[in-house]
């Protein structure tokens, strides 16, 4: 019985989503982060199936290639993941202003 996408670990789900959104095959993504041609597709497949979790350095390379913060790949809730993406797209000044608000304990919005 195949595993449902929603039942996969967070990292696996997000990696697959981002790769497909970028229009890349597993082999292409692996090659772009420096994996050997013959190992690229099987290794990315293992990450997307939840069989293996990559080392931090590999996760960082994947995130950089897919243009997201590495924390997005591991965030354990959808709201937090969305916040990470939104925050990462702000300017440094905007990030600082939001951080100050949060640290003061004020609600944003």
Q: What is the DSSP string of 22-46?
A: HT--HHHHHHHTT--HHHHHHHHHH
Asked if 50 and 3 touch (Cβ cutoff 8 Å), the reply is: yes
Q: What is the DSSP letter of 6?
A: G
Asked if 67 and 5 touch (Cβ cutoff 8 Å), the reply is: no
Find the mean pLDDT for residues 68-84: 95
Q: Using pLDDT thresholds of 50, 70 and 90, give the confidence band for residue 6.
A: confident
CA separation for the pair 48, 104 (Å, rounded)? 39
pLDDT digits (tens, 9 = 90+) for 25-40: 999 999 999 999 999 9
pTM for the structure as a whole: 0.84
How far separated are the first and last CA of the chain, in Å rounded?
Answer: 45
């Amino acid at each position: 019985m195949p595993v449902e996408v929603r039942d996969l670990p967070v990292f696996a789900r997000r990696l697959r989503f981002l790769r497909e959104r970028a229009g890349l095959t597993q082999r292409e993504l692996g090659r772009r982060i420096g994996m050997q041609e013959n190992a690229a597709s099987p290794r990315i497949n293992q990450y997307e199936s939840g069989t293996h979790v990559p080392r931090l350095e590999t996760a960082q390379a994947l995130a950089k290639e897919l243009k997201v913060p590495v924390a997005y790949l591991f965030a354990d809730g959808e709201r937090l993941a969305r916040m990470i993406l939104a925050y990462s797209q702000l300017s440094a000044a905007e990030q600082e202003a939001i951080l100050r608000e949060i640290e003061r304990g004020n609600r944003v919005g």
